[in-house]
Chain A
Amino acid sequence: MTETAAESLIPEVGRLVIRFAGDSGDGMQLTGDRFTSASALFGNDLSTLPEFPAEIRAPAGTLAGVSAFQVHISDHDIFTPGDAPHVLVAMNPAALRAELATLLDGGTVIVNADTFIERNLAKAGYDHDPLEGDDLDAYRLIRAPMTSLTKEACKELGVKPRDAERSKNFFALGLLSWMYSRPIEPTIEWIEAKFKGRDLIIAANKAAFNAGHAYGETAELSDHQVIVRPAEMPAGTYTNINGNTALAWGLVAAGRLSGLPVFLGSYPITPASDILHELSRHKEFGVTTFQAEDEIAAVGSALGAAYGGHLGVTTTSGPGMALKAETIGLAVSLELPLVIVNIQRGGPSTGLPTKTEAADLMMAMYGRHGESPMPVIAARTPADCFDQAIEAARIAIQYRTPVVLLSDGYLANSSEPWLLPEVDDLEPFPVEFASGFNQVDEEGNEIFWPYLRDEKMVRPWAIPGTPDLMHRIGGLEKEDGSGNVSYDGANHAHMVAVRAERIARIPVPDAEVCGDADADVLVVGWGSTWGAIAAAVRRIRNGGRKVAHVHLTHLNPMPANLGEVLSGFSTILVPEMNLGQLVRMLRDEYLVDARPVSKVTGQPFTPAELQQVILSELGDDA
């Protein structure tokens, strides 16, 4: 990136956290997303955290309707959307009231001053105008009359004032782009592409964006201007990706790598629906998407497709997982490949549909009747969702088993730069369906046994249409080998043991210790806590203290070396977005005194929170 003369005068900061907040109808997610894209193209490392209410349009102007988007940009590699924001953009009084507490002391507040009128103040629960009192004394306040200046900018275009007002988020984006030296072109190009054919909207949005940009310059806000330089990142081509898109693409890739058509059976549910949407757009990859009548039919259809030789996938969130449990148990019994994706959210019941939580680990592990083991893996970052979708499919196909892939609402919607893999470097895992007899009966006839196992204890996958191999499978207990229905107690005991052992024997990569192997304190995490733990551990180590981090992708089976790793540390902390689920599994399996660190507020851990917990464990006296 070439530095211009003007840019060289702007003070630099290493990183910046900006929080955009407004009414649900104000377009804050879009504004944040565009700012993020421009930052990505500028070369920053970044991480985002969209937060929105469960209602599509909660009453306008109320606290319940506030929608926020936090983005963390930096000139070095970062792992999380950041701690307290440096900058808060508040499009109305409710946004200010709801979000001000998150802002760093001394941070910058940018408000749409036009909205601070009596009616809106009352809706937000203010009995006074916070712009006039001492509420904001601890912050730097920028009052931008965004609505009126946007209307003014659009006046000559023939846009109705009411329509023009809707472009005010682009005014905010223009202003922020000027203050933080974001490139303009990507946003202009995006507006032109997005609203193609709707010339008035294009003109209004561009006018608002330019007006915001010019406002920064003319209102003499230059003392607020800072720049975050591009980060040093490994060479290659990057894209900015969120977890759900990465996961959908991973499923497409898994179809390619296995040579199987992908069949997604799904039912709309927040925050998983975007995977269904994304895959619906890619039928040319041999992807079939089936929007079923309910969660049960969604997994049932996927299992039916798997029986027919497709890569069967179902995507859902907690409530859907509960409904699918019986069918997943059938898949365990049938020993057919199936990928079950759970984008976790706050529970129980409907809980917090748009907020994150990771409290379905026990459900993934044990949430079926009977002894019903199956592999469980969890993605740790948005981009990692791509790799783990492939990993889930690989295990399912190669070991003929349903697999649960856990993500969560945070990973689903937050984004980060992703160094795109070379497609040719992805390892294929081709499938061989059974094609011939595998047994001889007492009379010497060649026959087919659907439950005759290979050295990995995997049964043959003989799909309908294969001559001679006609056979029946079902949920009733079957005799090992022949697959015939069997109510024999000894056979059942054998089959229970076989089902347990064949999953326990699936090889998974060893656990890797990051940080100081000789530290006293080990932090063990799984899933989306990776970013906050890694950032906290880095800060502590930069401060000269020792700490180690192990992050689990494979939760069942767990890495073979994990017990040995755990035994090397006197203190084991397990941060989880639940009341302590992995920690129970570790205590149970390895008899170690692992301790939980819980957060169930619907938001991910921040590095600062974990830093504090770890430091207090280390004895904060260094």
Chain B
Amino acid sequence: MTDTLLPEGGSGDVPPTTRADWQSDQEVRWCPGCGDYSILTALQLLMPDLGVRREKTVFVSGIGCAARFPYYMDTYGMHSIHGRAPAIATGLALARPDLDVWVVGGDGDMLSIGGNHLIHALRRNIDINILLFNNQIYGLTKGQFSPTSERGKVTKSSPIGSCATPFNPVSVAIGAEASFVARTHDMDRHHMQEIFRRAYEHPGTSFVEVYQNCNVFNDGAFETITKKAVRDDMLIPLVHGEPIRFGSEGQFGVARHDGGVEIVEVADVGVDALLVHDEARSDPSTSFALSRLAESPDRPTPMGVYRAVDRGEYGAAMHAQVDQMAGSRGKGDLKALLHSLPTWTV
């Protein structure tokens, strides 16, 4: 009945594309110097490598600076309403499992007004890729503290400092049962591309936090850790199966401590004492501990894939139920449905 109506997309091999194929004809209107540009570039450069079809790719966003993203991708896209992108993407992905659905939003969009949709999307594990551009500020409304702004943040709406404790997006995602959680930043295109590729390949909901600089309202929020000069000592690369080690000389590492993890000097504890990163571990407590290592992005911060477990995708389970009912009853018979309660004939 219905499947025939859905377009197949192009047939045969996926035609090769270039970055230009993924750029829409719309003028990009972020502020000059915004971190969003490098994220857009990273993704537009990555898409040809993924070997996917533009017509099968959809970007869904909410409201905010980051949420303008779909306008700039020459794919299908919807710029929806504040906070609701994960919900809309959920319906689209369930209805159309043949599509690659990406969700893009900022920290206010996804963690404040849309927090409920985010956690439930992560819990369900529908096959969508969520990119959260975290700049720790409301940009489009011109500079109010966000749910990721640090305590004491002075903004237009908090003239003597914000009183609220911020969310740690990676901790929130792990706590919400996310099956794929990663963090990257806008100063390292190759790292972003590697993480976005992993997110794309993951079956189920992928959650990627991107540290993104808002050079107008919160400039330099992450520069203590992301500037090239300090990166080696301040970013902790997470590599599956490898001891967690960082520093320009590899002199630091992460080891278990008191039920959590701590930063150690390799010279003090020895390489064998370092924690070997296991992103596929089903118990999320070690990944969560790693997410708590840096209380704020001015201390050594793990970057990369915190967690990647395969725990069954919602859409597949849901479609299996449809097949199960169709299998036991056959294709729905409308006449039989209308006659399914007791009937009588006059």
Contact = CB atoms under 8 A, between A and B. Distances in A.
Interface of A: 37, 40-41, 43, 186, 233-241, 245, 249, 252-253, 255-256, 259-261, 263, 265, 282-288, 290, 292-294, 296-297, 300-310, 312, 326-327, 329-330, 334, 420-421, 423, 431, 433, 435, 463-476, 484-485
B81 A475 contact: yes
Interface in B297-346: 318, 321-322, 325-326, 329-332, 334-335, 337-339, 341-346
B332 A282 contact: yes
Interface stretch (B83-91, B200-208, B264-272): B83-91
Contact of B325 (A284, A293, A473): A284
30 contacts: A41-B342, A237-B344, A238-B346, A239-B339, A239-B341, A259-B1, A259-B2, A263-B95, A284-B332, A285-B331, A285-B332, A286-B2, A296-B87, A301-B87, A302-B91, A304-B87, A304-B88, A304-B92, A307-B78, A307-B88, A307-B92, A308-B95, A463-B7, A467-B10, A470-B74, A470-B75, A472-B76, A473-B78, A474-B80, A476-B79
A468 B99 CA distance: 15
3 pairs of A and B residues whose beta carbons are closest in the complex = A474-B79, A304-B91, A301-B91
A240 B55 contact: no
> What is the predominant secondary structure among interface residues of chain B facing chain A?
mixed
Contacts of A260: 2, 5
Contacts of A263: 91, 94-95
Contacts of B63: 475
B3 to A, nearest CB: 8
Contact of A464 (B2, B56, B79): B56
B95 A288 contact: yes
B120 interface: yes
Given A41-B344, A301-B94, A308-B96, A465 B334 contact: no
B344 A40 contact: yes
Contacts, number: 225
Given A284-B332, A330-B81, A300 B94 contact: no
Contacts of A249: 337-338
Given A300-B88, A309-B96, A465-B8, A284 B329 contact: yes
Given A237-B345, A420-B339, A475 B88 contact: no
B95 A261 contact: yes
Contact of B79 (A235, A327, A475): A475
Given A239-B342, A307-B78, A326-B81, A297 B90 contact: yes
B61 to A, nearest CB: 8
> What is the predominant secondary structure among interface residues of chain A facing chain B?
mixed
Nearest to A312: B91
A263 to B, nearest CB: 5
Given A293-B117, A474-B71, A305 B91 contact: yes
B9 interface: yes
Nearest to A329: B81
Nearest to B79: A474
A397 to B, nearest CB: 12
Contact of A469 (B55, B71, B73, B344): B55
Contacts of B116: 293-294, 297
B54 interface: yes
B160 interface: no
A300 B87 contact: yes
Contacts of A233: 346
A472 B8 contact: no
B66 to A, nearest CB: 14
B75 to A, nearest CB: 5
Contacts of A302: 91
B60 interface: yes
B5 A472 contact: no
